[in-house]
Amino acid sequence: MTTLVIARLTFRELLRRRLVLALLSLTAIVIGITAWGFSRVHDLYIGGSPLTPGEVQLASSQLLLLVMFMFSFVLALTCAFLAAPSIAGDLESGIAQALLSRPVRREELLLGRWFGLAVPIGMYASASTTAEFLLVDWTTGYLPRQMAVAEASLLVEGLILLTFTLALSTRVSAITAGVISVIAFGTMWLGGVAGAFGEFFHNQPIADVGVVTHFLLPTDGLWRAAVFAIEPLSSVLAASRGFGSTFQVSSGPTVGYLAWVGIWLLVVLGIALWSFRCREI
């Protein structure tokens, strides 16, 4: 019960800071601009001839992947900088001491912060990606093959970074936790790109770099799951036959990898609880 109260207070704090309103307003502007851009895809020409329906689908899918990568990056930044001060900020300001002097356990405080951030992040991720996908479908006629899978992958990607940053905030300052999380996110993405290059050019040592990064911090693995769900079947077939690019994905995540993501999330959340419980205040 205390956990839910803290979660509700955390959400109210976000509303009071007008962060939710600012994020929704900027997202609506970006979606509007991208919708206008997608509406002009039919006016593109190749060699003086308008695009065929197949070329429109391919162009739309590639542009949508670009937009979704931008959204993935924004979601990662949002999760990192929301979670970074959630515990570290409470410790630095003395709020944690005031709360924990009452019948509130440290586990309840941390889980309350996690739920209070995870719920609005989930709502934002689902609403914004659904709106973007439907607008692309309306303007170009292209809809991702597995829209729900793409949304779920991006959502879990955000929760992974949220949990990772929350664990860091139990030991380091808010700024340090945020910076480490963002750098880790970017490093995992670069490792995934390196792994894709290794697979494309049949260089196993470089390909193994991508495998390691996908398991170490599974944000890029989930991003590639979203790519597989968004890209058209023609891109999947081209990638599986070795005719695609290093930014295309030939297969989705395995059941074993999805199980690892769930285990990773629970383990890191458990580490965060243990770290906060053992810290001197």
Average pLDDT over residues 7-32: 81
What's the pLDDT at 241? Answer: 58
Query: Quick one: 180 exposed, middle or buried, by C-beta within 10 A (0-12, 13-18, 19+)?
Result: middle
**pLDDT tens digit sequence for 160-193:** 999 999 999 998 888 899 999 999 998 998 888 8
What's the pLDDT at 183? Answer: 92
CB 64 within 8 A of CB 142: yes
CB atoms within 10 A of CB 251: 11
For residues 176 and 111, what is the distance between their CA atoms, to the nearest angstrom? 21
Q: How far is CA 272 from CA 24, 159, 269, in A?
A: 29, 14, 5
Q: Is this model's pTM higher than 0.85 or not?
A: yes
**pLDDT tens digit sequence for 248-279:** 777 778 899 999 999 999 999 999 999 888 87
**pLDDT tens digit sequence for 126-169:** 989 999 999 988 888 888 888 999 999 999 999 999 999 999 99
Q: In total, how many domains does the chain have?
A: 1
